[in-house]
Structure 1
Amino acid sequence: MKLNIWACLILPDGKSIILDHNKKQLLLFSTEGIFIRKVVTFTKYPWDACFARNYTVAVTLGLANQTALVDVNKSKIIQKIKVSHNCYGVASDGKTLVISSDGGQCTTVNLNDMSHTIVEGMGGMYYISLFQGNIYGNNYNKNEVCCYKSTGEPLWTYHHQDIDYPVGITLDINGFVYIVSRENSSIVVVSPEGKNSKTILSNADGIKSPHAIDINREAGMMIVSSDISDDKSYETAFVYKI
């Protein structure tokens, strides 16, 4: 199957979700990595995805200024969240959904009543993650990893030569930040306080031009996308125990 992976997720039951940007599709795979079915096809180009809650996946629709909530079991879009900015990165802790843009704005959405709050001053974060009330993001124009309070107040910024064009981002149960460093085909882990880092996967491990990453914190499982052809026309996803 020819894939263009912009997001990959491990669901609570161990199955995987792949977001194919070119085909505008959300795809479901078994715990063994076998294709099960297409979940939904979007009319707009999707950008990022995260597990929201109750077997629902949130998918950002980029320049459409919308984020779709998709019921994976029912294979349908159950709601579209319209915001005032473009929708790139998305993250959830089961109670709050955070949607990022390239203009320094984020929108937080209360998943219980769907109320919106605009958060300013979080510049250029295309991909984000949410952990213990803080928002983490990558700025690939500056090769930086940033951590903010939910109010937008900056906590720390980390820059290192091993981080080159950071895209996907996620955190483990202990608060370590996992960064996809696309240009040097590696996965870099940054300490919870943003002081130091370590490369844990690289091209030598078979990782090539990765884009997306996700961790199921309860299961301790990580999924990472990777090219498997020189022309970048075929991609796959590897699952690791962490």
Structure 2
Amino acid sequence: MIDPDHIAITYGSSGTNILDVIKLSSGALEKEIQTQQFAKKHSTTENCFGISYWDNKIYVMVEKVGIVVLDTSGKALNTISIDTEKGRKVVVFKDRIYYTDRKKNTVHCLNTVGQEMWVYRDKSIVEPCGLAVASNLDVFVSCSKSNNVILIRCDGKDSKILLRKGDNLVKPKAIHFNRERRELLVCNKSNQHAAVYKVI
């Protein structure tokens, strides 16, 4: 979400090498950003996955390139060069960048210049997909293959399982945390169900 009436969308590995900005009130496509500019060092355009907006900048996870930082016109300002071969989700909040790596089963926290602050790996995290961040910088992660939702503490040193397979999770993918209402939305891939949980 760029503002209450505009969202930016990436299309993953669909072969659609664009990033769209949509006006919600009308449903109209306002801007189409070609992603070829993100992969100048590559012979082909790489797929764009996770996307986040913070401080008038759009952050896009670009496979094999890194996290590309754009202004709202779509101009690339900077690239944070990290291994994003299986990077999928990215969330920027305050002065931190968070992303998941499905190949290494890790969750990463960087500062805004790309220096790694912490990496979290645990046997309970298998194929991390969705990512959300609370006001206190605790991190929620949905894990598709291990069928759970994990809470990682803000310092990246500890975690606990919030939801398990028995809690009606079937390959949980997308998640979102509403910081004002303290509600966590969890969307399943396999049974196409979504549920909202109160975080206390």
TM-score (normalised: structure 1) = 0.72
- Three-state SS of the structure 1 residue aligned to 2:173 is coil
What is the correspondence of 1:82-97 to structure 2 with a 5 Å cutoff? Answer: 82-83=34-35, 84-85=38-39, 86-93=47-54, 95-97=56-58
Match of 1:73, as an amino acid? S
Look up the match of 1:108.
Answer: 69
Contact 1:187 1:200 in 2 (8 A): yes
What is the correspondence of 1:29-178 to structure 2 with a 5 Å cutoff? Answer: 51-62=1-12, 63-83=15-35, 84-85=38-39, 86-93=47-54, 95-111=56-72, 114-124=74-84, 125-178=87-140
- The offset of 1:183, in angstroms, is 0.8
- The offset of 1:133, in angstroms, is 2.5
Structure 2 CA distance, aligned partners of 1:149 and 1:122? Answer: 13
Structure 1 CA distance, aligned partners of 2:160 and 2:19? Answer: 33
- The offset of 1:175, in angstroms, is 0.7
Pairing partner for 1:223 from 175, 185, 195? 185
Match of 2:108, as an amino acid? C
Contact 1:53 1:94 in 2 (8 A): no
Contact 2:97 2:111 in 1 (8 A): yes
Contact 1:119 1:152 in 2 (8 A): no
Contact 2:70 2:78 in 1 (8 A): no
Structure 2 CA distance, aligned partners of 1:82 and 1:136? Answer: 24
- Three-state SS of the structure 1 residue aligned to 2:166 is helix
Structure 2 CA distance, aligned partners of 1:191 and 1:104? Answer: 28
Look up the match of 2:44.
Answer: none
List gaps (5 residues or longer) in structure 1.
Answer: 1-50
Match of 2:20, as an amino acid? A
- The offset of 1:104, in angstroms, is 4.0
Look up the match of 2:157.
Answer: 195
RMSD of Structure 2 on Structure 1 (CA): 1.7
Aligned residues: 186
Percent of aligned pairs sharing the same letter: 22
Look up the match of 2:197.
Answer: 240
Structure showing greater relative contact order (alpha-carbon pairs closer than 8 Å, 6 or more residues apart): 1
1:17-45 Cα distance to aligned partner (Å, 9 max, x none): xxxxxxxxxxxxxxxxxxxxxxxxxxxxx
List gaps (5 residues or longer) in structure 2.
Answer: 40-46
- The offset of 1:100, in angstroms, is 0.5
